[in-house]
Each structure stands twice: as C-alpha cells, then as structure tokens.
Structure 1
Amino acid sequence: MVPTVEQLLGLEAAPAPAKPAMRFSFLFFSDVRKDRSDAEKYAFVRDVTLFADREGFEAVYIPERHFHEFGSIFSNPAIMAANLIPQTTRVRFRTAGISLPLHHPAEVVEWWAMNDVLSNGRVDLGFGSGWARGDFILAPDHYADRRQICSDQIPIVRKLWRGEAVTFPGPDGEPVAVTTHPRPIQPELNVWLLVTQSDEGFIHAGRQGYNIFTMLYGNNLEVMARKLALYRAARRDAGLEPAGGVVTLMLHTLLLDDRTRVRRAVEEPFSGYIKSALDAHLAAAAKDRGGEPPNEAEKAKILDYAYERYFQTGALFGTVEDGRAIVEQAIAAGVDEIACLLDFGVDYAVATESLGYLARLAEVYRPRA
C-alpha cells in the first residue's frame, strides 16, 4: 500500500479546497514509427488534441526535441501549439518542457505570449535544463551549467511575462532594457518544472512554488510518493500551501476491452520505444561520466526489466479496471494529474480505439457539481 503524502510528512491533512481527484491530459513525446510520414504523425497529434478539447481533458503537453529520431517532430513546441490552438476552444497548451538553456528568455516569452493571445489565455509553460549534448549546438557554452542556467532563467521569464523590464547585454556588452510584446492574456505564468529523479529537484520546485512534471524513469509509485512528500514539505517550509502545487505524472497509455489485446498491441512498439529512449539516455550518461555505454547484452537485460516493470506497474495498460488500479495508486502517491502518452509506436487505429476507454476512465474521476 502506497503511503499518503500526509503519512510521509507526519502531518494531518490540512483542509484544502475541493479539487478533482485526478485530472487527465495528453502528452506527445516521440512517435518513432518509420512506417508513417511526419505529416501523418502531426495529423495524429491534431486528432488527439481535438478529442481532448471535445471530451473535457485538461491539457495537451508538447515537448521540445532536437536532432534525434526520438521526438524529432517536436523541434519547436510553439509552432505546434500555434497550429492547434485555432482548432480548439478549451483545452490548455503546455510544454514538457522547453529546454530553457537553449534559448534567450525574451524569445521564449515572445513566442508563447503570442500563443496565449491566440488561445485567449490557455498557455502554461514547463521547463527543463536539457540533457542531450547534441542539442547544445544551439547554445554550446551553456551545457556544463545548464541546470543552474535553467534555474536562473525561469524567474526572468516570469518577470517578462508580467510586463516587467529586464536588462540584457546587447551589442558590445551594452545593457539593453527589454519589455516583451505582445502582452499575454494571463498576467501570471503557470510554471511546471521537469523533474524525474533528483530529490533536490523536487525540493527546489517546492520552494519556488512551481508545479511538477515527472515520470517513472527509474522509479515506481512508492518511490515517487517519497519524492512528492519532499516537494510538499518544501512548499510548506516556503510558506506556501502544501497541496497547492500540481503534480503531473506521465504514463504510457493504452486501454482496451482485453488485457491480452493490450499486451499484443504494445509489446513490439513499447520495447522499441524504451530501447530508443534508453540508447539516447545511456549514451549521454556515459559521456558525462567519461565511460563507455553498456554493451548489447547489458542493454538487453535493462530493456527486458524496464519493459516488464513498466507494463505491470508504471503505465496505464490493460482494461479500464486495470487503469483504475494504477490511478488509485497515483492518487495515494500525491499525483494530481496524469499525462497520457499515446504516441510511442502503437498503431494509430488501436491508439484511437483506446481513446474511448480512456474517456470512460477519466469520467470516473471527473468532479461532480
């Protein structure tokens, strides 16, 4: 049984405003399929976004990825959002997340303020420090200090969003005070911080009052519960409402009428998806440590373990009832929102069929009047 956040903190639950037991959103992240054109992949993103808008889902999360087939269709999330916004009326558009050290903060605010105006205030931004060395050809001097740069620049983005003037070095180092335009609809920017494993990352997000976007990369829900307890405690220590921040958890998702059908549908693409992600992450980690990546036999063992663990305990795979079991564990761990990842290689027809079952699951947790 996963302990509650209050049990982990050693606190009684403080009275809190009524809020949904669980919110549901969609996340687009990779789509590594080679049998579909990029145009077909974008069409799938559009179709899922329109479904989310029509069926009352909370948001769609768009990543930023560069120079690798894993996520290659998402090189600029602002452009993707600008295409989808006019086709929707209520769903929110979020990033998961902008690699902030790759960009000038004023540039980020300009792009997304435009989208905030176009969407009538339906933009929230998630940020990360970036991890792939190759991405940093866009900002080669920022790789070594990327985490600190990300931390330093988020408050600058928020100031610019509010309309405050911020001074930056211009030509020949001469300072230039900048106020960005157009002005966004929302006076304050809702911020998500991409955090996966580091306890310090969860604590930092809590102290700063950020929301969290996370995933079960190397964790399970019991471990996640302990990390979210640190986040809630950090919010409390900073004088913020402990339950006030939104914790969004990404889960790979496929719900059908039969668990065996789901296993058959996800086995090949999900294994390939995990392998593609592992190859990129293991290579980056080995480079940072100055060592060699695992050999093929070692990677095969890691892959087999990751597949079974994810299928059983770290994804919304199976029937609606299977999904409810995972959602209940996520609620107990302190998760507020699940971002459902569909584009990990499953056939589009099967993924589209899954949407109806996911809507049934979401309806169980939708707040009543």
Structure 2
Amino acid sequence: MKFGLTFFPVLSPAERSAAAYFDDCLRLAEVADVLGYEHVQTVEHHFSPYGGYCPDPLVLLAAVASRTARVRVVTGAVVPAFEHPAALAGRLAMLDNLANGRLDVGFGRAFLPQEFAALGVPMAESRARFAENVAACRRLWEEEDVVWSGEYSAFGPVTVLPRPVQRPHPPVFIASTTSAESCAAAGSAGHHLQVVPSVTSAEGVRAMLAAYRTAREEAGHAGPGRVQIKYTCYLSPRRAEALAAGRRWEANYIARMAEAVAPWAAPGVGGDDYPGYAALVDKVRAYDFDEALAGDKVLAGTPHDVAAQLERIADRFGADLSVSLQFNPGGTEYMEAERAVRLFAAEVAPRLSER
C-alpha cells in the first residue's frame, strides 16, 4: 500500500475562513512531503459547505506543488463537463509543468444537481459530456494541431501550450462512486481508478474493482493499473480521543452532505445517467458512525486499530492500493491534524509496508 493526503473541505465561512483552511492544507502538504507520503489530492465542488471551498482544485494543487518536492499532486476529481476541454487541458498541462511532472489527473462526473443547474449544464448530458471531454483532453495532450468535432464542442486546429511534462500525458484516473460499469470502462480505456467506499458496501467495492481489473486485463493494457481509495482517518494515541473526534466530525460531514444531496429527493432528478442516486438522501440520513467504523468505511482509533483496519481493507480489495487519507475534515485544529499525519507515518504505514 501507498498513502497520501486528501483535502475535502466540509465547512462554511461561519466556522472557519477559507484562508485559514488553505494555510493548514499547505502546511500539512509540506509535512507529508518530508515524511514520504505518495500524494496530495483535492476535490472539485461548488457553492455549498460540502466541498465548496475548492471550486478549482488546480489552484490549491499549484500552491502545494510550489511548496513540495516529491509528493504527487492529484485532482480527485476535476469535472470535465463543467469546462471547455481545450481550456481544461491547457490548465492541467500548466499544472504538470509547475509540479515538474508530478501531476495525476482524476476526472469525475459530479453528482450534485445544484452544481449542474448553476453552471448551466444539463445532468442528462453528464455521461456523454464526461466521455467526450476526457477523450478531447487526451488528444490535446498527445497531439498538436488537434481538430475536434464533438457533440458539445468543436475546435481546431489547436495546439495546447504548455505541453505537459509527462508524455504522452499525465496519468489519468476515473473517479467512480458506485458504478461497476464506469469502472469497467476505465479499465478498458487503460485509465487508473479512484474509489470512495463510504456510500458503497464492501461487496459493491469488490465488484467495482473486479470489473475494473478484468476489463483492463482483457483490453491488453500493461500492468494492473493504479487504484486510489479514499478514507477519513481519526488517529490518536488514545482511542477514546480518536473516536470522539470521529463522532464529531463525521456528524458534521453527514449534515453537510445531507444538505448538498437534498435535491435528489425531488422526482426525476438526474435521469438515466444516475441510476440509484435517488436513494442517496435516505442513505446519507441512515449513516451511523459505529456501523461505518465496524465496516471499515471510516478509519478511527489508535495506530494499532487503524493498521488493523487497513490490513482488512488490503485483504478485501488488494494490497496494491493507494490509500488517500483525510486528516483535517471540517474545523479540525491544525496541530491535531499534523499529529495524526506524523503518527500515521511513524506507526501505521511501516506496519503495512512490513506486511
């Protein structure tokens, strides 16, 4: 297993300023870089306390790149449906240059109806726009004088500048929450995969990873592909302290997510592009911290406890995972988050490496 940091801001200006949150993220990224973490990633969300402090992951990751030397910077994920592909491909290539070839590009479809409505993008076009714009970005990175004629954009001849450092392009990850079909498509295309297990059963995650790995192998792509899986982690030398923090900040996360997914309760939202998402509101409301902890959907406890959880995760999903850890959800104090980052590197990661 490899380990990195995820930054997913779940807070509002009334709780903490964005400037203070970003400062914490950059300081934690510097610590992670020194301690040998593999990556730092952040999400794209808009307009709400559920991730809305990060409407443009590239800006935060450029700052991370400027203050680190080794960690990879990862979009986890950027939403291609919300941008013109030529503009997005150029901005990502610029970030790859600023990071000296340390960029991994995760693409996601987005799932919050209010984001689509505000940005003027029909949710019914989500899947098609996603596939078209990912393909367009790849061509723009790989080729010069690209002529593109798609359903949603047409341009050319266009040569993106700057050219990406990594050739033929930065590694591409596809983010999937519940869909084994999407995972299989990512495998067939030779992409890598990002998975969030918090709203999917262990059996569902296994099915998603199996679909990805089988499709990738059948398509003849070299190697097994890289799989990133994301968890929030509450770590302390004292178990009671870690569990208390987990209960507090998971309750905050669920409250914010419940607000963000509330539009799914309306009939007909999302159409055929989002099968099963109508049940998301009830799923979020039914979240129970103790059940999530017992099912290893959230990591919490002492280093021994968390290492045992990760060993079970490796047994379920594979030991070749890259685990992306959120240590500073909500308004976590900086020193508390840094202590957890250091404790994980000193006492948890080595146990998994030995295994």
Structure 1: tracts of 5 or more residues without a match = 1-21
Q: Per-residue displacement from partner, 1:308-347 (whole Å, max 9, x unpaired)?
A: 2222321221111111122112222126111001232233
Q: Which amino acid aligns with 2:343?
A: Y
Identify if the C-alpha distance between structure 1 residues 211 and 43 changes in structure 2 by more than 3 Å, giving closer, same or farther. Answer: same
Aligned with 2:73: secondary structure? Answer: strand
What is residue 350 of structure 1 aligned with on the other side? 336
Give 1:31 deviation, angstroms. 3.1
Identify if the C-alpha distance between structure 1 residues 365 and 302 changes in structure 2 by more than 3 Å, giving closer, same or farther. Answer: closer
Give 1:214 deviation, angstroms. 0.8
Q: Which amino acid aligns with 2:339?
A: E
Choose between structure 1 and 2 for higher RCO, CA contacts under 8 A separated by at least 6 residues. Answer: 1
What is residue 199 of structure 2 aligned with on the other side? 218
CA distance in 1, matches of 2:132, 2:69: 34
TM-score by length of structure 2 reads: 0.87
CA distance in 1, matches of 2:21, 2:304: 29
What is residue 123 of structure 2 aligned with on the other side? 143
- Worse-matched range after superposition: 33-42 or 185-194: 33-42
**What is the percentage of aligned positions where both structures have the same residue?**
28
CA distance in 2, matches of 1:331, 1:251: 13
Aligned with 1:64: secondary structure? Answer: coil
Identify if the C-alpha distance between structure 1 residues 240 and 36 changes in structure 2 by more than 3 Å, giving closer, same or farther. Answer: same
Residue 336 (structure 1) aligned with residue 318 (structure 2)? no
Aligned with 1:309: secondary structure? Answer: helix
Q: Retained in 1: the 8 A contact 2:254–2:285?
A: yes
Q: 1:203 pairs with 184, 187, 190, which one?
A: 184
Please give the residue correspondences for 1:1-369 in structure 2 after superposition, counting only pairs within 5 Å. Answer: 22-32=1-11, 34-137=14-117, 139-168=119-148, 176-187=156-167, 188-241=169-222, 244-284=224-264, 286=266, 288-289=268-269, 303=285, 305-312=287-294, 313-332=296-315, 333-334=317-318, 336-345=321-330, 346-360=332-346, 361-366=348-353
Q: Retained in 1: the 8 A contact 2:44–2:54?
A: yes
CA distance in 2, matches of 1:124, 1:364: 27
Give 1:281 deviation, angstroms. 2.2
Q: Per-residue displacement from partner, 1:192-227 (whole Å, max 9, x unpaired)?
A: 101011121111111111111111132233432232
Give 1:349 deviation, angstroms. 2.9
Q: Per-residue displacement from partner, 1:124-160 (whole Å, max 9, x unpaired)?
A: 1000112222223565244311112111221211111
Aligned with 1:114: secondary structure? Answer: helix
Identify if the C-alpha distance between structure 1 residues 290 and 216 changes in structure 2 by more than 3 Å, giving closer, same or farther. Answer: closer
What is residue 275 of structure 2 aligned with on the other side? none
Larger Rg: 1
CA distance in 1, matches of 2:158, 2:284: 49
| RMSD between superposed Cα atoms in Å | 2.6
Aligned with 1:154: secondary structure? Answer: helix
Q: Which amino acid aligns with 1:121?
A: G
TM-score by length of structure 1 reads: 0.84
Q: Which amino acid aligns with 1:130?
A: A
What is residue 19 of structure 1 aligned with on the other side? none
